[in-house]
Amino acid sequence: RKEVEQDPGPFNVPEGATVAFNCTYSNSASQSFFWYRQDCRKEPKLLMSVYSSGNEDGRFTAQLNRASQYISLLIRDSKLSDSATYLCVVNPGGGADGLTFGKGTHLIIQP
């Protein structure tokens, strides 16, 4: 049973383009949702939390669709520095037992 599913990519996108990823989760009781970014051979770092009303941070927009159980990440005006793996992360039960990570979507921004 895959709790959090993402398209692994890679997504090859020209610089300046808009790119979007989706992620689906299986546990309808999930309470917290996040996008993390992981650079090659580095640790994951929080990109943004995902709220029910959606949220935006500069060029990044995250949306949550509870009815369809997916979250999305939109990157506008992509930069070379956006090249990374983007991890969809869910807290299934809201408890202390850690987060459930998707396997990640690999994004390559091309000059």
**Residues interacting with other proteins, by CB under 8 A?**
4, 31-32, 34, 42-46, 49, 87, 91, 94-99, 101-104
Minimal distance in Å, beta carbon 110 to other proteins? 24
User: Closer to other proteins at the Cβ: 78 or 105?
Assistant: 105
Structure tokens at 49: 């939390």
Q: What is the dihedral of CA 74, 30, 84, 62, to 10 degrees?
A: 20
User: Closer to other proteins at the Cβ: 18 or 31?
Assistant: 31
Minimal distance in Å, beta carbon 107 to other proteins? 16
Minimal distance in Å, beta carbon 58 to other proteins? 18
Cα dihedral across residues 99, 86, 53, 20: positive or negative: negative
Residues with Cβ within 8 Å of 43's Cβ and at least 6 positions away in sequence, in order, are none
